[in-house]
Amino acid sequence: MTSTDVRTRPARRTVSPLPAARRARPAVQRGPNLTLGAGPLARTLALAALAVLAVIWLLPMFWAAFTALKSEQDASDPLHWIWPQGGFTLDAFRTVIERGDLPLWMLNSFFIAAAVTVVTVAVSAMAGYAFSRTLFRGRRWLFTVTMASILVPPQLLIVPWFQQMLTLDLVDTYAAVILPQTVAPAMVFILKKHFDTIPRELEEAARIDGASHARIFRSVMLPLSRPMLAAVSIFVFIGAWNNFLWPFVSTSDPALMTLPVGITAVKDAYGVQYAQTMASSVLAALPLVLVFVFFQRHIVKSVATTGLGGQ
């Protein structure tokens, strides 16, 4: 499974996704006695189980950071595999950063993910509005086609996409990486369902004043949709930031690669260096994990509202 799949995961009719905030009550308030029981034994067991799971889940990340802080010799020493004989060092990080391509790939990833997010959210919001609030010939039909295409996995389009980029002479350009990623029928669906939930009374006044659709969209619908747009944007951004297959296929020029592609495709000239490999990994993982640490609530909400593709 690729992390981007979720962006185009299938969605079907059913209730619109309620913003999590509206339906969620703080779990802490409910207290353990409702779901778990108040017994200290149950609590202790649950806590132990959680702790074990958390250790298993945190260990790989911890080990990556730990390895990155060793020297190359210590990282590949089979006898003293825990404590480095030569102490800890930042050499691996220094080498990786000095090589310079990691920051470049980060920049590429950021630019590409931002462009994908802006275009996707903008066109999907407009289309969602069109399908929710306007009438035109073929609307129903177009909506059906859009929904049906949610089933098309982007993985299966890589070959024709590449051929298309050859035809357009766009192989190895940012445009080739970005454009195919901006088609997100699932996001259109989610935003359409969201607009459906906005009461019509709110725009009536503006309409009586003779406001155009553009005006209503801009000054009524969008301001009311900020949390939803934020959720969708976060989701699309994470998907694009971590997307691998299409950026991997569409770029061969290392100067254009994104982070996930670059760190795996381009080798340094000095062979297998585990400490440096882990240093790159830690640096590559850092941006989103840091963002998560600071904006946990928003990201959790984004996944909760968007992750089911509108289910």
Q: Name which of residues 184 to 203 contact other proteins (CB under 8 A).
A: 185, 188, 196, 200
225 lines the binding site for other proteins (CB under 8 A): no
Burial level of 129, CB count in 10 A (0-12/13-18/19+)? buried
Window 43-62: residues binding other proteins (CB under 8 A):
43, 46-47, 49-50, 53-54, 57-61
Residue 199 is given by DSSP the state -
* Nearer to other proteins among residue 24 and residue 90 (C-beta): 24
Among 73, 155, 202, 295, binds other proteins (CB under 8 A): 155
Token pair for residue 282? 């830690």
* Site pattern 268..307 for other proteins (x: CB under 8 A): xxxxx-x--xx-xx--xx--xx-xxx--x--xx--xx--x
Q: How far apart are CA 242 and CA 86, in angstroms?
A: 35
Q: How far is the CB of 311 from other proteins (least distance, A)?
A: 5
Window 110-149: residues binding other proteins (CB under 8 A):
115, 118-119, 122-124, 126-127, 129-139, 142, 146, 149
Q: How far apart are CA 284 and CA 259, in angstroms?
A: 7
Q: Are 245 and 27 in contact (CB under 8 A)?
A: no
Q: Which of 240, 232, 6, 238 is nearest to 121 (CA)?
A: 232
Q: How far is the CB of 90 from other proteins (least distance, A)?
A: 19
How far does CA 162 lie from the centroid of its chain? 23
- The site that binds other proteins (CB under 8 A) totals a number of residues, namely 155
Q: How far is the CB of 308 from other proteins (least distance, A)?
A: 6
Q: How far is the CB of 15 from other proteins (least distance, A)?
A: 11
70 by DSSP, 3-state: which?
coil
298's CB contacts (< 8 A; 6+ apart) are 230, 231, 234
* Nearer to other proteins among residue 89 and residue 268 (C-beta): 268
27's CB contacts (< 8 A; 6+ apart) are none
Q: How far is the CB of 146 from other proteins (least distance, A)?
A: 7
Burial level of 240, CB count in 10 A (0-12/13-18/19+)? buried
Among 165, 190, 228, 232, binds other proteins (CB under 8 A): 165
Phi, psi (degrees; rounded to nearest 5) at 270? -120, 25
* Site pattern 241..260 for other proteins (x: CB under 8 A): xx-xx---x--xxxxx--xx
15 lines the binding site for other proteins (CB under 8 A): no
How crowded is residue 71: how many other Cβ atoms within 10 Å of its Cβ? 17
85 lines the binding site for other proteins (CB under 8 A): no
